[in-house]
Amino acid sequence: MDVLEAIKSRRSIRKYLEVPVEWEKVGVVLEAGRLAPSAGNCQEWNFIVVTDQALREQIAEMSAEGLWMATAPVHIVITANIESISRLYGIRGERLYAVQDCAIAASQMMLAAHDQGLGCCWVGAFDEHALARLLSIPDSIRPQVILTLGYPDERPEMPKRKILENLLFLNGYGNRIKDIGFVLMDYNLAGKAAELGKAAAERLARKMKEKREASLSERLRSQKEQLRKKLLKK
Ligand SMILES: Cc1cc2nc3c(=O)[nH]c(=O)nc-3n(C[C@H](O)[C@H](O)[C@H](O)COP(=O)(O)O)c2cc1C
């Protein structure tokens, strides 16, 4: 799945099949988090994978969202090492970078999950202290995000998004663009270019396959011919 396609089609999943998630897939999700950018590349995060059912049920209870969370066979709790980040970047590190680093790791993990056919939901509304106690998280570490992970048992529609016209300013806050067509046109062109590239790659792959098959059948024909001649000589 290409990145834009994954961004467009990913949804928050809050209903899961009773099917375990393969460890390899969990590994790919974790790898996507590990490779995320971070302030000063300091990577002061940890990922706690929770598979134990009793723990997942307790996590669900301490989250405002409640019990659907427990139906996800895997929870990933993303924590920030506040002490290290604030040592490096002071209050900005603690209040901003710690949050942003974990957010971007979570975002990449959600896309990686989606790419592998898994559903995922970001849960931010949980009792942080209760969660820290449950998972033995020390005071210097702050849980930022819980991701639920599992095979989806629903296909939600995309919740409404604001249109770009209402979000975009040019060269200063509040300067709206009157005719936004050119921005969207570029965007559409990028999409078209990707489609054309994909079609060209498919055409090339088809041609190469035909060539391979043709040369194979040519080889077989000549082998057959040689065999026939040999047999005639005898
Ligand atoms: C910071 C943050 C906190 C969130 N917290 C919760 C939450 O506590 N419970 C929940 O069900 N969804 C939560 N979500 C998921 C959002 O509700 C969801 O992303 C949004 O409705 C858009 O839907 P979509 O993800 O399908 O595009 C959170 C998302 C973010 C980014």
Q: pLDDT tens across 188-222, in order?
A: 566 667 777 888 888 888 888 888 888 888 888 88
| DSSP-derived pairing of the beta strands 74-81 and 119-123 | unpaired
- The CB of 12 under 6 Å from ligand 1? The reply is yes
Residue 72: closest CA among 176, 145, 153 = 153
Do both 61 and 127 map to the same domain? yes
50 phi, psi to nearest 5 deg: -115, 115
Residue of the CA atom closest to atom 19 of ligand 1: 12
| Per-residue confidence (pLDDT) for residue 49, from 0 to 100 | 98
Please tell me what DSSP assigns to residue 12: B
**Does 44 share its domain with 92?**
yes
Provide φ and ψ at 108, rounded to 5°: -65, -35
Distance between CA atoms of residues 48 and 53, nearest Å: 14
> Is there a single domain that holds both residue 73 and residue 100?
yes
Which of 77, 121, 154, 160 for a ligand 1 pocket mutation test, highest count of atoms within 8 Å of Cβ? 121
pLDDT exceeds 60 at position 228: yes
In-domain check, residue 234: yes
Counting the structural domains of the chain, the total is 2
Cα–Cα distance list, 32 to 119, 120, 188 (Å): 15, 14, 27
CATH of the domain at 141: 3.40.109.10
pTM of the model: 0.80
Chain-centroid distance of CA 31 in Å reads: 10
Which of 122, 145, 149, 157 to mutate to test ligand 1, by most ligand atoms within 8 A of the CB atom? 122
212: number of Cβ within 10 Å: 10
Same domain, 141 and 229: no
Q: Which domain holds residue 174?
A: 162-234
Query: Are 102 and 178 within one domain?
Result: no
